[in-house]
Amino acid sequence: MKRAIPEMAISFGLLGIFWIVLSGYFDGFHLVAGGICTLIVTAMSYRLLFSGRRSPFFETSWRLIWYVPWELWQIVLSNIDVIRRVLHPRMPIAPCLIEIETSLRSEFALVTLGNSITLTPGTITVSVDPKTGKFLVHALAKEPADSLLVDQTMQRKVAEVFREGPNEG
C-alpha cells in the first residue's frame, strides 16, 4: 500500500493535466468535474496499470511511447496492403482464422497486443485466452496472417515493452 499512494497520485496528476489540456475549460465547474472524473479513472485503472508489473511504471510507459510510432507505421503499411488487395484484381483476398501463441500473460500486455492486431487493417482479434496467451485472429489474407505467425515482430515488440517473454525477466 505504501507504493500505491505515490503511484496513484502521479497517475491522478498526469491524467488531470491531460484532461485540462484536452478540455480547454478552466472554470470552477469544469475543473471540479474533471477532478472527479480523473479520480474515478485513476481508481479504476490502478490495477491495470500497476498490479503485477515486472518493471517500474515509468520505464514501461517510456517503452510504450516508443512502441506507438512503430505501430502507427504498421497501420500505414497495412492500409496500403488492404487498398492494393481491394483495387488490384489479382491480389488474393482469402479470409482465414489463425491461432497465435504468445508468451505474454499480463493483462496490459495482452490488451496491447490484441488492440495492436485489431488496429492494423486486414486483421482483427476475435478472442484471447489470458491463461495460455493464445489469440484467435481473423486475417484478410494469408500474408497478413503469416506476418503474425512467422515474423512475430509485433509480439516481440509488445513483449519488450512489458518485459515479458522467454528472454525477459
Is 144 found in the same domain as 74?
A: yes
User: Locate cell 502521479: which residue?
Assistant: 10
Is 86 found in the same domain as 12?
A: no
User: What is the structure's pLDDT at 57?
Assistant: 64
Whether 169 is covered by a domain: the verdict is no
Is 39 found in the same domain as 113?
A: no
User: What is the structure's pLDDT at 169?
Assistant: 46
Per-residue pLDDT of the chain (169 residues; tens, 9 = 90+): 566 677 788 888 888 888 888 888 889 998 999 999 999 988 877 766 665 555 566 677 788 888 999 999 999 999 999 999 889 888 888 899 999 999 898 888 999 999 999 999 999 999 999 999 999 999 998 888 888 888 889 999 999 988 886 555 4
Is 70 found in the same domain as 122?
A: yes
Cell of 141: 489474407
Which domain covers residue 43, as residue numbers?
4-50
